Amino acid sequence: MAEELDTAPQSPESGVADEPAILGQGARYLLVGGSSAAIELAIFWVLANPAGLDVRVSNVIAVVLATVFNFATNRRWTFNSSSHWMRSAVLYLILWSLNLAFTTSVIGFADGQGFNATLAKLGTMAAVVTWNFWLFRKVVFA
């Protein structure tokens, strides 16, 4: 007797039915993040070089504009959020602040202990990218 394939829909608890949605969101999340980084770098370079603004001012402007782009694009395209935008914005800024405190502390500690600050930065970036995806998906844009 031939075995039958189980074609019954998977329950939400199993996670299997949601896998394509997670993979699609993950791909969009990485694309938005990469685009945000490119936008931030481009704005910084233009403001600091051809425009001749102070690098600190250039950085603040670039970070703010890239953050606005990241929030809006993740909210609408990546996670297709229907929650109130102000709720999402407040949660996003709280998470952004916690991430900044975490990354700055870890990088500073690592540097003070003689570790390579760039490697510490890469490690903290990997951690932030990972938990931000889940927190954006389940809390910020839910």
Whole-model pTM over 0.85:
no
Confidence of residue 11 (pLDDT cuts 50, 70, 90): very low
Q: Which two tokens stand for residue 138?
A: 């389940």
Q: Are residues 88 and 127 in the same domain?
A: yes
The reply to whether 12 falls in a domain is no
- Is the pLDDT at 121 greater than 70? The verdict is yes
27 found inside a domain: yes
**Contact indicator for 87, 69 with CB cutoff of 8 Å:** no
Q: What is the pLDDT of residue 114?
A: 95
102 and 124 co-located in one domain:
yes
- Domain span holding position 69: 18-80
- pLDDT: which is higher, 43 or 15: 43
The residue out of 37, 64, 80 marking a domain boundary is 80
Residue-wise pLDDT for 49-100, tens only, equals 999 999 999 989 999 999 999 999 999 999 999 999 999 999 999 999 999 9
Asked whether residue 128 is domain-assigned, the answer is: yes
Domain boundary (41, 60, 80) is at: 80
Tell me, yes or no, whether 73 and 88 share the same domain.
no
Q: With 50 as the cut, is the pLDDT of residue 5 above it?
A: no
Do residues 25 and 76 both lie within one domain?
yes
CA angle 36/40/45 to nearest 5° reads 150
Residues 89 and 139 in one domain: yes
Chain segment 36-51, per-residue pLDDT in tens: 999 999 999 999 999 9
Same domain, 96 and 68: no
Q: What is the pLDDT of residues 86-117, one digit of tens each?
A: 999 999 999 999 999 999 999 999 999 999 99
What does the block give as tokens for 74? Answer: 């993740």
44/98 same-domain check: no
Largest CA distance in the chain: 77
81-88, long-range: CB < 8 A, 24+ apart: 81/141, 81/142, 83/141, 83/142, 88/140, 88/141
The number of domains in the chain is 2
